[in-house]
């Protein structure tokens, strides 16, 4: 059994991670930390976990995380970087669901996240945990930087086009929408029911923290070439889900490319990417509570603009589910272990 610790188990990502780990046949939960809720039974805060998780929250200082095989950080940005080095030195694998190790340029990270990085030495060796691209590196990693939710949907949607070199890289557009749970489990005015329900609003147009992460990934797919990306996120009146509508312009010398075949071939054998039939329009509901990305590719009116529709559950494939997928890779388990949940309908 894999001995697992979870740092920060009280947020939406944390409880989603616990839901998945509690169902995992190879996992033994050893510690779930919370400074504010230490001593409280986890199931008292989250009744959905009654009879599945019998642990109490423990203070991080008293948690025996050094005896775990892997520790997940489901914490705000800036927490994992302060604790990861000690765990790694003790032989513990670290999977960070926040952004502390996602961006390889530390100065760039500090600019976007507004704080000094406490552990730059681990940034260089951390593996970006997008399994469909980096599974071989993840298998050997000590620190896995779990991708963000928007970056997962956007990068998977653009991946076949950028890898194959069939679209212009200077004018990509990602028009994305997220459910309110993406803002976290905290009290803020803009995510109150009366503010977010019956409403639709863009935000972060001038610059969003996920922009450098997405650009970094797309550039890597392109062999290091610079990428021009316009990324506009929106808040939608739903709890879960991300819908990314992606636009790219075909290069003049590849007008006859079979886009459907390109996507089907790139993701053949990928358990958690579903390339839908030609002409499809995937919905966020079709992936609700499952570790799945559904993708459809379009070429409106046979022109030179490609439109990709990419949907995920922001808490699962966009966070906790992808983290468990990375854990499975780290411990040489089938990637689908503990992740075979069918999406919830309606």
Q: Which residues of 206-239 are buried (b: 16+ CB within 10 A; e: fewer)?
A: eebbbbbbbbbbbbbbbeeeebebebebebbebe
Residues 246/156, Cβ–Cβ less than 8 Å: no
Q: Do residues 241 and 287 lie in contact, with contact meaning Cβ atoms separated by under 8 Å? A: yes
Q: Are strands 242-249 and 305-312 parallel, antiparallel or unpaired?
A: antiparallel
**Residue for token pair 């199931």:** 43
Measured CA to CA, the distance from residue 324 to residue 317 in angstroms comes to: 9
Question: Distance (Å, rounded) from C-alpha 65 to C-alpha 83?
Answer: 10
Name residue, tokens 């095989």. Answer: 69
Whether 119 is catalytic is: no
Q: Which of 265, 254, 268 is nearest to 299 (CA)?
A: 254
Residues 81 and 113: their CA atoms lie apart, in Å, by 13
Beta strands in the chain (DSSP E): 2-7, 27-33, 57-58, 70-73, 93-96, 127-128, 143-145, 172-178, 201-202, 229-235, 242-249, 273-275, 293-298, 305-312
For residues 233 and 217, what is the distance between their CA atoms, to the nearest angstrom? 18
Residue of 68, 119, 149, 293 marked catalytic: 149
Q: Which one-letter DSSP state was computed for residue 118?
A: S
Catalytic residues: 149
């Amino acid at each position: 059994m894999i001995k697992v610790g979870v740092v920060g188990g009280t947020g939406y990502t944390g409880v989603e991670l616990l839901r998945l780990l509690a169902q995992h046949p190879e996992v033994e939960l050893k510690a779930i930390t919370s400074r504010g809720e230490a001593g409280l039974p986890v199931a008292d805060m989250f009744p959905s976990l009654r009879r599945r998780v019998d642990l109490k929250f423990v203070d991080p200082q008293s948690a025996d995380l050094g005896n775990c095989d892997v520790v997940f950080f489901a914490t705000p940005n800036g927490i994992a970087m302060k604790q990861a080095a000690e765990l790694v030195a003790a032989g513990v694998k670290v999977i960070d669901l926040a952004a502390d190790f996602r961006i390889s340029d530390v100065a760039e990270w500090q600019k976007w996240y507004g704080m000094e990085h406490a552990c730059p030495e681990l940034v260089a060796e951390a593996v970006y945990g997008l399994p469909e691209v980096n599974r071989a590196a993840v298998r050997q990693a000590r620190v896995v930087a779990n991708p963000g939710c928007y970056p997962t949907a956007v990068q998977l949607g653009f991946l076949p086009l950028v890898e194959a070199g069939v679209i212009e890289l200077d004018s990509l557009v990602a028009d994305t929408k997220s459910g309110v749970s993406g803002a976290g489990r905290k009290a803020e005015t803009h995510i109150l029911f009366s503010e977010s329900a019956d409403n639709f609003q863009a935000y972060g147009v001038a610059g969003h923290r996920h922009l450098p992460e997405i650009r970094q990934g797309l550039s890597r797919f392109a062999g290091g070439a610079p990428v021009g990306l316009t990324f506009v996120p929106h808040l939608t009146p739903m709890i879960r889900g991300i819908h990314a509508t992606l636009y790219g312009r075909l290069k003049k010398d590849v007008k006859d490319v079979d886009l459907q075949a390109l996507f089907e071939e790139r993701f053949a054998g990928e358990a958690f990417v579903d390339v839908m039939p030609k002409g499809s329009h995937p919905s966020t509901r079709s992936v609700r509570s499952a570790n799945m990305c559904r993708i459809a590719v379009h070429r409106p009116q046979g022109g030179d603009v490609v439109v990709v529709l990419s949907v995920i559950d922001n808490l699962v494939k966009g966070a906790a589910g992808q983290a468990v997928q990375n854990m499975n890779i780290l411990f040489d388990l089938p990637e689908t272990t503990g992740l075979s949940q069918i999406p919830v309908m309606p």
